[in-house]
């Protein structure tokens, strides 16, 4: 193999790992050395981004048909199971690499400002660097087990960072919830891996995808089971029905963490997994329909909840769940490119929205802190009219809002339209996709509505922060607004990544990802929409987006809103939405409490106390004490007795020996 | 030469020794019975040495040497016990009772 710049790929995950080691050491030894921590934490990410650019450029120059695999050492050589610690560079991992390191760098820079006054500054950056390391392992891994290491690792870092302020019970609980819910999904991933190994005999991406069309019968039960278990893993990691409940709670973590882990990168791992395995899903039409259906349903369901949330971050959290649903609609439809495209543009505008909300929360927190008030700095009812105080954030968040709502020509318009177009086109072959398309369109309407609602309540109308706190509201420092500007540019212009041929674009992402997707796409039923239909779809999508925004302007009255502490409780259907359809309560009643009851009444009080402690531990002690008592009674101290026993024993042995 | 009778005498001697150890309570007597058993074994060795070579006779010397050493140590212990307890009745010596 000739040496190319791609050989440097090992540096990309190692750099953040180095940052974790250094920052972790500083966190233990000298937590106050904030300058050193910022320099290390940010520079390793920027360096990783630079290396990623070099590697991707080399990949563009070489443009190999097969993935370039770098094997470093044997990891698990067990019989026929040969797992190597290997990384792979191909067009799909290249896209993910640039998104993770690029958006990650911007968020690291933002964190320098946002977390500056936090006592756990070094610990924060150590965890953030570790997260990036695992995320890069996830996207670069050349086999399912290596990917699984990253998959589990990002879950760990997510747990550590959600519960970053662990002194408060609610934060620790949120971290625990995220971890446990993710375990359910990880179980699916594991089962899928074992099934794959059983049937395909390998876990490397290249060999699995090479043999899959011959090993698996298309539409057969085995491949359907494998892909459904894989998707169970995705529902956990990427917060889809029924395992989405952890993501809104994950907003208890610091806001940059929400932007990086719970919007831009980690939660998209499931989409990446389905895209990576697009060939397997193409072989299993039922699973594809499940993926697309769950995605469309989640998109609509989460969007309805977002309509009535007051916490600015919760709105964005449900919006993330909803947008992830779109991505699954895309990859489930077989439009892998559209899904990945939306993943990238979503990373831009959702990171921008989260960082913007971070900027707002930062201002609100400082204003309330200055007057020693304990008002909720994240409740939109306490905001209003912030555009006069945070002009940059205001403008940039509007760009992101227009992008997510799907207003042309911003990035979200192209990616969302591509997904809806693909779903509609597939409806021509399988009519159920018309339903998925309709669900997607309905959520587009709601998306436009709730995002406009968020913007109006936060930035427009009268200010409800309170007279004493108002003079303390001001824009965040440049280290925070700088990354916002970069993300704003990306959100606005991200569409050029994959301009459709319809508007004279080159569909560059589609050509770029062709080596990854063409094998799977060949298995799908052909579905092409005519140009007229495509224009009509675009028209409908834009009309829906505008209707949502206009509706939000007409129906909502920020003037009538009261600050959070004066606001009356919600009633009727609004209350159902505000309480998130009571899904948490339902899970609590159906799953959590029965398990707790079982654990407490049966596993603890019977199995543990009576069986393990009683029969097991104390039983063993009592048995040996009884045996010891018998043994001690044998010791009479009478030499004659010993001799008699000895002689009897010798006689028995002699008798046996003489036989 | 006379193998059978020699072994018979040795067996009787050994049985007397075992019976003495089992029945008697006086430590000195028991000790002497042990010596009786050792000598019964010696007699067996000698008897077999006629047939199987001189090794048996060599063993007898070893047994005698060990018996002498054992007699020295054993008598010293019995003496020590007597000084301590004014008795050499084994029924009184039961410190190892569980």
CB contact (8 A) between residue A637 and residue B95: yes
Report the distance separating Cα B20 and Cα B16, nearest Å. Answer: 6
Closest CA to A209 of A527, A525, A523: A523
Report the distance separating Cα A254 and Cα A168, nearest Å. Answer: 13
- Give A380: exposed, middle or buried? Use CB within 10 Å, 0-12, 13-18, 19+: buried
Q: Give the minimum alpha-carbon distance from B81 to chain A in angstroms, rounded to a whole number.
A: 14
* Mutation for testing the B interface, residue in A639, A641, A646, A647 having most B CBs under 10 Å: A639
Contact indicator for A422, A436 with CB cutoff of 8 Å: no
Of B18, B21, B97, the CB nearest to A637: B97
CB contact (8 A) between residue A631 and residue B22: no
Of B22, B95, B97, the CB nearest to A643: B22
Of A638, A644, A647, the CB nearest to B94: A638
Of A633, A637, A647, the CB nearest to B96: A637
The predicted complex's ipTM stands at 0.83
CB contact (8 A) between residue B98 and residue A634: yes
CB contact (8 A) between residue B98 and residue A638: no
Report the distance separating Cα A447 and Cα A302, nearest Å. Answer: 10
Determine contact: B97 vs chain A, CB below 8 A: yes
Please list every residue in chain A whose beta carbon sits closer than 8 Å to the beta carbon of residue B98.
631-637
Residue A456, token pair as written in the block: 């109006």
Residue A352, token pair as written in the block: 């921008």
Report the distance separating Cα A275 and Cα A605, nearest Å. Answer: 47
Q: Where are the alpha helices (DSSP H) in A334-431?
A: 336-370, 391-405, 411-427
pLDDT, residue A635, reads: 83
CB contact (8 A) between residue A640 and residue B90: yes
CB contact (8 A) between residue A639 and residue B98: no
**Tens of pLDDT, residues A107-155:** 999 999 999 888 889 999 999 999 999 999 999 999 999 999 999 999 9
CB contact (8 A) between residue B94 and residue A636: yes
Of B18, B22, B94, the CB nearest to A637: B94
For chain B, the average pLDDT equals 90
CB contact (8 A) between residue A637 and residue B98: yes
Print the SS3 string covering A138-188.
HHHECEHHHHHHHHHHHHHHHHHHHCCCCCCHHHHHHHHHHHHHHHHHHHH
**Tens of pLDDT, residues A361-385:** 999 999 998 888 888 889 998 888 8
**Tens of pLDDT, residues A575-602:** 888 888 888 899 999 988 999 999 999 9
Of B22, B25, B96, the CB nearest to A635: B96
Burial track A268-292 (b if 16+ CB lie within 10 A, e otherwise): bbbbbbbbbbbbbbbbbbebbbbbb
Contact indicator for A509, A341 with CB cutoff of 8 Å: yes
pLDDT, residue A2, reads: 59
Determine contact: B29 vs chain A, CB below 8 A: no
Helix (H, G, I), strand (E, B) or coil at A422: helix
* Mutation for testing the B interface, residue in A640, A644, A645, A654 having most B CBs under 10 Å: A640
pLDDT, residue A655, reads: 93
pLDDT, residue A447, reads: 95
* Mutation for testing the B interface, residue in A632, A636, A637, A654 having most B CBs under 10 Å: A637
pLDDT, residue A3, reads: 67
Q: Which residue of B has its CA nearest to A642?
A: B22
Q: Determine if residue A239 is left, alpha or beta; phi over 0 gives left, psi from -120 to 50 gives alpha, anything else beta.
A: left
Q: Which of residues 70-89 of B touch A (CB under 8 A)?
A: none
pLDDT, residue A292, reads: 94
Report the distance separating Cα A83 and Cα A453, nearest Å. Answer: 50
Please list every residue in chain A whose beta carbon sits closer than 8 Å to the beta carbon of residue B90.
638-640
Report the distance separating Cα A116 and Cα A355, nearest Å. Answer: 15
pTM reported for the whole predicted model: 0.82
Q: Give the minimum alpha-carbon distance from B97 to chain A in angstroms, rounded to a whole number.
A: 4
Beta bridge partners of A70: A87
Q: Give the minimum alpha-carbon distance from B88 to chain A in angstroms, rounded to a whole number.
A: 12
Segments of chain A with pLDDT less than 70: 1-3, 526-527
pLDDT profile of chain B (98 residues), mean per 10: 88 94 89 93 92 90 94 92 87 75
Q: Which residue of A has its CA nearest to B18?
A: A647
């Amino acid at each position: 193999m000739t040496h190319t710049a791609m050989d440097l790929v090992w540096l990309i995950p190692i750099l953040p790992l180095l940052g974790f080691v250094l920052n972790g050491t500083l966190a233990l030894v000298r937590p106050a050395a904030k300058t050193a921590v910022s320099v290390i934490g940010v520079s390793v990410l920027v360096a990783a981004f630079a290396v990623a650019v070099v590697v991707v450029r080399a990949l563009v120059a070489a443009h190999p048909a097969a993935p370039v695999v770098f094997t470093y050492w044997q990891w698990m050589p067990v019989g026929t199971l040969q797992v190597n610690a290997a990384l792979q560079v191909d067009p799909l991992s290249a896209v993910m690499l640039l998104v993770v390191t690029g958006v990650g760098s911007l968020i690291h820079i933002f964190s320098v400002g946002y977390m500056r006054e936090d006592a756990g500054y070094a610990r924060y950056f150590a965890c953030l660097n570790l997260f990036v390391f695992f995320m890069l392992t996830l996207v670069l891994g050349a086999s399912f087990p290596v990917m699984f290491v990253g998959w589990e690792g990002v879950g760990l870092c997510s747990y550590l960072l959600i519960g970053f302020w662990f002194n408060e019970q609610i934060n620790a609980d949120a971290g625990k919830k995220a971890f446990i819910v993710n375990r359910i999904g990880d179980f699916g991933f594991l089962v899928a891996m074992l099934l794959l190994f059983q049937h395909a005999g390998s876990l490397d991406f290249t060999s699995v995808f090479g043999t899959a069309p011959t090993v698996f019968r298309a539409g057969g039960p085995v491949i359907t089971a494998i892909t459904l278990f894989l998707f169970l893993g995705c529902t956990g990691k990427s917060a889809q029905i029924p395992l989405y409940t952890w993501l809104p709670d994950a907003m208890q973590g610091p806001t940059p963490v929400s932007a990086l882990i719970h919007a831009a990168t980690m939660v998209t791992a499931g989409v990446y997994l389905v895209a990576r395995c697009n060939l397997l899903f193409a072989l299993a039409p039922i699973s594809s329909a499940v993926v697309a259906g769950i995605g469309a349903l989640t998109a609509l369901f989460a969007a309805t909840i977002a309509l009535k949330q007051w916490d600015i971050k919760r709105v964005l959290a449900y919006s993330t769940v909803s947008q992830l649903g779109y991505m699954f609609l895309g990859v489930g439809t077989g439009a892998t490119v559209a899904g990945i495209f939306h993943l990238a543009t979503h990373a831009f505008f959702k990171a921008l929205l989260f960082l913007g909300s971070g900027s707002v929360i930062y201002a609100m927190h400082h204003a309330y802190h200055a007057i020693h008030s304990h008002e909720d700095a994240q409740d939109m009812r306490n905001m209003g009219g912030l555009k006069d105080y945070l002009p940059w954030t205001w403008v940039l968040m509007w760009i992101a809002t227009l992008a997510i709502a799907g207003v042309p020509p911003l990035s979200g318009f192209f990616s969302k339209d591509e997904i809806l177009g693909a779903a509609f086109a597939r409806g021509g072959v399988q009519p159920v996709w018309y339903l998925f398309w309709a669900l997607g369109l309905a959520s587009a309407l709601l998306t436009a509505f709730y995002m406009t609602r968020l913007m109006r309540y936060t930035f427009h109308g009268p200010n409800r922060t309170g007279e004493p706190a108002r003079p303390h509201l001001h824009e965040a420092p440049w280290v925070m607004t700088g990354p916002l500007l970069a993300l704003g540019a990306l959100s606005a212009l991200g569409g050029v990544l994959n301009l459709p041929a319809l508007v004279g674009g080159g569909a560059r992402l589609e050509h770029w990802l062709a080596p990854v997707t063409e094998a799977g796409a060949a298995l799908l039923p052909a579905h092409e929409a005519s140009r007229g239909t495509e224009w009509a779809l675009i028209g409908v999508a834009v009309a829906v987006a505008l209707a949502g925004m206009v509706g939000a302007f007409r129906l909502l009255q920020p003037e009538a809103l009261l600050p959070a502490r004066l606001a009356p409780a919600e009633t009727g259907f609004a209350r159902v939405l505000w309480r998130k359809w009571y899904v948490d309560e339902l899970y609590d009643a159906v799953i959590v409490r029965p398990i707790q009851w079982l654990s407490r009444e049966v596993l603890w009080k019977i199995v543990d106390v009576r069986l393990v402690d009683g029969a097991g531990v104390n039983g063993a002690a009592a048995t040996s004490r009884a045996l010891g008592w018998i043994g001690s009674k044998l010791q009479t101290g009478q030499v004659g007795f010993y001799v008699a026993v000895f002689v009897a024993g010798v006689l028995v042995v002699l008798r046996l020996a003489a036989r | 030469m006379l193998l059978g009778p020699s072994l018979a005498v040795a067996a009787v001697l050994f049985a007397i020794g075992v019976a003495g150890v089992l029945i008697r309570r006086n430590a000195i007597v028991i000790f002497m019975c042990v010596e009786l058993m050792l000598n019964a074994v010696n007699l067996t060795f000698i008897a077999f040495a006629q047939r199987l070579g001189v090794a048996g006779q060599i063993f007898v010397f070893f047994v005698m040497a060990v018996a002498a050493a054992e007699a020295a140590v054993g008598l010293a212990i019995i003496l020590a016990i007597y000084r301590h307890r004014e008795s050499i009745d084994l029924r009184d010596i039961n410190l190892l009772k569980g």
